[in-house]
């Protein structure tokens, strides 16, 4: 690429701070696997829409381009957008073929499809052999198979894949096993950032912060909060439904991580091995006397903002979802027994368990024993 500094100097401009220019998408480049990563609001979908718009421009150019953009019958200027069925309810007010982003949408006609899983994705790819660029939105939502499927089509069919996705979860950890594998097979990464949404801060931020609204307070989600909570984009004032903000690392408060590993998990280990029933005491306290829990004791070391999580509803149920569906330390039957014996909220618990299973965490989840889920 031409050095932008040279171009400016030749215009007689003074020596300014020159930043990398924002380029149009280059369809003549060799097939790539591009991860577009960033928190919500960083413009991942807008990026996809721009690629699509650029493609429309290039398709109107002369046949000279076809030679540079076509391999094995697939033209990279033909862009197909694939979205996950898990995402369908996010934009109920747009036309079915709309690629919607903040501030607008593009209608993609027959160049957009919604698929359930990678098997359906493969069907769509096979049905459109002349399409060289595939945008697979929210790539981390798919099962792990996606990573190697994409790599094979990239190698064998010389296709380009653009994968806008969250790569970090609210704990600031790699989202799941699929995200981990995608990082391995990718050839390029476009990191996008958004402003930190903390009122006192405007740093570039790339972390997703989960919080709950409770009586006009923002309460951070605890580390052991259920990893996946299926829900809409609308801001919720129900302290059982999370909200998200983009935050810089300084303003990404994540209480109870130490507690989760130092106390909660070990208690469940001991309970499972029949050593003691301290777990039950702790779960009971979380539900009915949170300020007397071991959690409260630990949070005192983390400060006021962390202590606020003691006011959250269904704290005990959240811990049980974590221990059952994510840590695999309790079976579903055991968890339900505990829930019933302590008079906890079984509806909330089952809903969240379903969320974890629906999103194919790519982690070993305990199969329910003697329970239908
Ligand atoms: Zn900040």
Residue 41, pLDDT score: 81
Q: Is residue 270 domain-shared with residue 321, that is, in the same domain?
A: yes
> Average pLDDT of the chain?
89
Domain extent at residue 37: 21-192
Q: Which of 61-65, 246-250, 344-348 has the lowest mean pLDDT?
A: 61-65
Given 142, 168, 192, the domain boundary residue is: 192
Q: Are residues 247 and 264 in the same domain?
A: no
Q: Please report whether residue 105 resides in a domain.
A: yes
10 C-alpha to ligand 1 centroid (Å): 39
Task: Give residue 206 CA to ligand 1 midpoint distance, Å.
Answer: 10
Q: Residue 246 Cα, ligand 1 centroid: separation in angstroms?
A: 9
Q: Do residues 47 and 97 touch, judged by C-beta distance below 8 A?
A: no
Neighbours of ion ligand 1 (CB under 5 A): 196, 198, 201, 203, 248, 251
pLDDT at position 12: 74
Residues 65 and 150 in one domain: yes
The reply to whether 264 falls in a domain is yes
Query: Do 344 and 293 share a structural domain?
Result: yes
- Å from CA of 258 to ligand 1 middle: 22
Question: In whole angstroms, how far apart are CA 162 and each of 108, 172, 189, 264?
Answer: 16, 23, 10, 40
367 in a structural domain: no
Say if residue 273 is in the same domain as residue 334: yes
CA 94 to chain centre: 22
pLDDT of res. 365: 37
Q: Is 12 domain-assigned?
A: no
Same domain? For 337 and 293 the reply is yes
Determine, yes or no, domain membership for 217.
Answer: yes
**280 & 237 share domain:** no
Verify that 32 and 114 share a domain, yes or no.
yes
By mean pLDDT, which of 17-26, 120-129, 364-373 is the weakest?
Answer: 364-373
Between 255 and 90, whose confidence is greater? 255
Q: What is the pLDDT, as a whole number, of residue 104?
A: 82
**Would you state the pLDDT for residue 5?**
66
Residues 6+ apart with CB under 8 A from 326: 226, 227, 356, 361, 363, 365
State the average pLDDT over residues 147-158: 97
Distances (CA, A) of 210 to 70, 101, 295: 43, 21, 19
CA 172 / ligand 1 centre spacing (Å): 15
Question: What is the structure's pLDDT at 118?
Answer: 95
Total structural domains within the chain = 3
148 in the same domain as 48: yes
**pLDDT tens for each residue of 209-254:** 999 999 989 999 999 999 988 876 678 889 999 999 999 999 999 9
Global pTM value: 0.80
């Amino acid at each position: 690429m031409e050095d932008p500094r040279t171009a400016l100097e030749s215009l007689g401009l003074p020596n300014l701070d020159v930043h990398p220019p924002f380029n149009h998408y280059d369809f003549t480049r060799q097939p790539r696997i591009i991860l577009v990563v960033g928190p919500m609001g960083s413009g991942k979908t807008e990026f996809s829409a721009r690629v699509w718009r650029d493609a429309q421009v290039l398709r109107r150019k002369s046949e000279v381009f076809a030679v540079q953009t076509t391999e094995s019958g697939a033209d990279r200027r033909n862009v197909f957008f694939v979205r996950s069925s898990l995402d369908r309810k996010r934009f109920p007010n747009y036309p079915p073929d709309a690629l919607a982003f903040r501030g607008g949408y593009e209608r993609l006609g027959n160049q957009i499809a919604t698929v359930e899983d990678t098997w359906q994705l493969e069907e769509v790819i096979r049905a459109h052999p002349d399409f060289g660029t595939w945008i697979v939105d929210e790539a981390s939502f798919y099962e792990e198979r996606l990573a190697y499927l994409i790599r094979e089509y990239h190698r064998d069919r010389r296709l380009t894949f653009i994968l806008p996705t969250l790569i970090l979860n609210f704990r600031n950890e790699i989202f799941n096993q699929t995200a981990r594998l995608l990082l391995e097979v990718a050839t390029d990464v476009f990191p996008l950032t958004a402003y930190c949404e903390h009122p006192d801060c405007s740093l570039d931020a790339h972390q997703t912060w989960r919080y709950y609204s409770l009586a006009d307070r923002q309460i951070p989600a605890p580390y052991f909060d259920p990893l996946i909570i299926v829900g809409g984009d609308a801001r919720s004032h129900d302290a059982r439904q999370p909200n998200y903000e983009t935050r810089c690392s300084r303003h990404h408060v994540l209480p109870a991580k130490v507690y989760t590993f130092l106390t909660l998990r070990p208690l469940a280990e001991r309970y499972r091995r029949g050593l003691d029933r301290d777990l039950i005491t702790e779960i009971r306290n979380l539900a009915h006397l949170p300020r007397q829990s071991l959690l409260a004791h630990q949070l005192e070391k983390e400060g006021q903002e962390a202590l606020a999580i003691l006011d959250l509803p269904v704290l005990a149920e959240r811990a049980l979802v974590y221990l059952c569906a994510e840590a695999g330390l309790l079976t579903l039957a055991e968890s339900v027994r505990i829930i019933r014996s302590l008079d906890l909220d079984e509806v909330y618990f089952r809903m969240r368990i379903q969320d974890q299973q629906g999103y194919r965490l790519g982690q070993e989840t305990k199969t329910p024993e003697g329970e239908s889920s």
